[in-house]
Each structure stands twice: as structure tokens, then as C-alpha cells.
Structure 1
């Protein structure tokens, strides 16, 4: 059984506009899959649907099985049990994803207390370890800080620490470097790549940039206007794209002179 099995996923608004149309894909344990497409292609909505986090006014139909749990139609209690334990997400903008009124350490502690039952000194040690594992300088100081008191790169490391704290089988990363300075983006991608390899985690990585997807994933689904238009290994998509839209993404990545040498992609 696949870790994540999405079949016929369709996301509609209350006025029956279709935003994601009959999307299907799988993620095996330990596999790294990219969802790539321009803004409005439906890729981020698809990942939100995977965790039952669609905004108000949107509904999902089809089937989403995550670690044996059917997400579509699941109760809030069931979804809460899944989030952080089986899969966790890192959003594009950590400043809005983090609670501005709560210290960093407490935010990391919440999933550890909820899913693992840690408390007291063991919980404090686990928070410090989570920050250390994402290579956070001075983790004890950061744990005492509020989100606005640390840099954007540090906030994204905090978000990653929260996502990885309970060792979920699947990490969902939704444009996790887009809001960062260029100098920090490559460092963050290298960190994500190293951590998921060490932990043998599966990854569902969302980006508009094929160069970024090629850097951290093995296979990708190309989305346009809410539909999957092409799927394959990253190397095949780069070397021999079949759809005009995919060809444009490859050309755009090359034109931007990404740090990744696309010709050497696996």
C-alpha cells in the first residue's frame, strides 16, 4: 500500500467552480514527489486537501488515503490525529503560519505533547533537540523567542522543526523557500534534502520552479489549470518533456540560470 494514494481528487468552491480536477498520484514510503506548476495551477490546494485543511467554501471529493486513513470526509478528531504524526506541512510564509503570540518553544512542544505525550524535562529536551536538528544557532534562545524576534530563515527552520518533531512518514513542503532571501534559499533546500534523507522520509514538495523541484525530488507531477498534464522522473521531464507547458517550465528554469545544472539531473 502506498503511503499516500490520491485518486480522482476534485476541489470545488460553493458556487461549483472546479479548482482541482480529477487529480491522481501516489507517494511511496521514502519517495520524494514534486508538484510543479504556475500560481493557480491547484498544486497548493491539492496539498491542503491531503491534510484536510482546505479553506472555508471549498470541498474535496474523490479519495485521499494517507497511511491507511481516508482523509476525505474524515472527522476533525481523526484529522487532528493524522496531522503531525503521519504527515506534516511546512508553509511558504512561516510568519503567518506561526502563532505570533506564542513563544517558539511552546509551538514546537505542542505536537510533541499531543502525539507522543512528552512533558516536563523530557519535553523541553525534545524541543531543544528539534531545533538543534534543523541546525538552529543558539536553540535555547530561539525557543524563548517570539516569531517576530527571529529572522525569516530562522522562522522557516522553526516551521521545519515543528513539522519533523514527531517523525511523520510524509513531509509536505509548500514553496518553503519562496519567501526567503536568495542567499538563504539554497541553504534551506540543502537542509530539507539532508534531513529527509537521514530520516528516510517521503516528501511531497510544491513549487513553481522546476529547478527547485529537481533539486529535492525524484519524480514530479506537472499541473496546469487544476489538472495533471504530465508526470515522470525529474530527469525525463527535463531531458524530454512531452507537453508544451512542461517545455516552457524547463526553458524558464534554464533562463533563470538556477544553481542546479539541469542537464545533470538524474
Structure 2
């Protein structure tokens, strides 16, 4: 069953410049789609459009249907109901995504309370469990900390815990490992891969790195200058890309051979 259906999506800046043009793709329940392209290709704008999070002043046309709800033109109340329940997002830089003035635990407990109505000890336990599920040691200590008091890798795990706490059907991951060290990046990718498999979630994974996309997705959409260039299975895109732009991305992907080896052993 189709969980996300994007049809003819176009985004224009306030000055009329086209940023995304006539983009169409879909994600089925439990499917993993990678969106790849260079900076400025429209990847992140597409993910923001899926949740109705585009900045004011941008013009959006086309259709984005998420779990049966039309996102384009929807009122904020309807969008708020969709976010967290049907889809949640993890951004590249958790320091900007997390509230610096709010303790970590409250940033997870707040959405949980709104979705479930839980209070008191039950809500605290669910908050600690959410932190433990993303492999954070001493979840009670982490819950009482402010974002600046924990490491970058821990902050990204907190952001992932917050996204997954309400068990959305779709996880949107927008360059979630780019700001991390290589070793921490590998741990984060493994964590995302494990958690979405266990929960049978769909994933929309955005990256400029084809090796990363090959690790965690089944199908790839290649974007350039706001348009779809090519789409297909990971092995097809990597092994026999049709477009020159895609061939260039394959050639520049770091550790691509090891990424394919990982796919073959799964």
C-alpha cells in the first residue's frame, strides 16, 4: 500500500525561481527510498514539503499525499496531526533541531504526551525507554541534560529517539550522519537500519553520499537542479546507471565497493 505519494510537486522561491520542478515519486509502507544529489539539487526542500515545513514565501504546487492526507495547502492543525504520527524527521544538525533551552527528556516526553495522553511515571519510563532504544547509556542522565551538555553523536541519537517515540509509519532522514565523525556515522547508520527493520517502518533517506544510501535503502531517486534524473533499485543505479550525472555520482561515492559488499551480505 502506498504510504507517500508525491505527484507533480513544484516549489518556487519568493522571487519566482524554480527550486523543485514537477517531481513525482512514491513510497510504499515498509519501503526504503533514498534521495540523492548534490547540494542545491532540491533534496531537502522535497523532504520539507512532505511535512509542510517549507519556509514562508515559497510557492508549492502539485500534490503530496501522506497516509491519506493531502499536505499541500493543508491547515496547520491538520499538519500537526500528521507530524510525529504518520511521519517524523531527523535533520542533519541536531543542535538546530533540538531546543537548546529545554532538557532532553522534555523534548521527547512532550510529543509522547500529546500523542498518548500519558503522564507521570508512565511518561517518564517511556521517555527513558526511547533513549535506551537508540543505544544511549544512562538514559536517565541523558534525559536530564541540555543538548549542549552531550556529544554530537548523542544529540543525533536523541533526535532519532524523538522522531521514533510516537512510532511513525515513515521516518524521514535528511543527511542525518553528515555532521558526524566517520566511526560515529557508521554506528548511526547501523542503528537506523536496525530500528526501522525491527519496526517495519518506511524510510525516506536523503544524502549526497551514494555509499550511505546503498547501506540503508532499497530504491534510489537521483535529483539534479530540482528535477528527478533517474530512479531505480540500488543495485541497478550503482551497477548500470543510465544518466551521466548518475555515473558521476557513482564514480565519486566514497567506499562504494564496501557499501555494496554490505548490501550483498544482508
Query: After TM superposition, is the score higher than 0.5?
Result: yes
Q: Does 1:118 align with 2:125?
A: no
The whole-number CA distance in structure 2 between the counterparts of 1:193 and 1:257 is 18
Cα distance change of structure 1 residues 259 and 130 upon mapping to structure 2, 3 Å threshold: farther
Partner residue, 2:258 = 260
Q: Does 1:24 align with 2:59?
A: no
CA contact (8 A) 1:234 1:265 kept: no
Partner residue, 1:98 = 98
Partner residue, 2:194 = 194
Cα distance change of structure 1 residues 159 and 77 upon mapping to structure 2, 3 Å threshold: same
Q: CA deviation at 1:265?
A: 4.2
The whole-number CA distance in structure 2 between the counterparts of 1:75 and 1:150 is 36
Q: CA deviation at 1:257?
A: 2.8
Aligned ranges for residues 14-163 of structure 1 at < 5 Å?
14-163=14-163
TM-score, length of structure 2 as denominator length: 0.97
Partner residue, 2:7 = 7
Alignment gaps of 5+ in structure 2: none
Q: CA deviation at 1:58?
A: 1.1
Q: CA deviation at 1:56?
A: 2.0
CA contact (8 A) 2:13 2:19 kept: yes
For 1:12-63, what per-residue CA distance to the aligned partner results, in whole angstroms no more than 9, with x for missing partners?
1122111000000000000000000000000100000000000122121100
Cα distance change of structure 1 residues 227 and 251 upon mapping to structure 2, 3 Å threshold: same
Q: CA deviation at 1:73?
A: 0.5
For 1:221-264, what per-residue CA distance to the aligned partner results, in whole angstroms no more than 9, with x for missing partners?
000000000000000000100000000010001xx335734367
Secondary structure, aligned partner of 1:229: strand
TM-score, length of structure 1 as denominator length: 0.97
Q: CA RMSD in A?
A: 1.1
Cα distance change of structure 1 residues 168 and 147 upon mapping to structure 2, 3 Å threshold: same
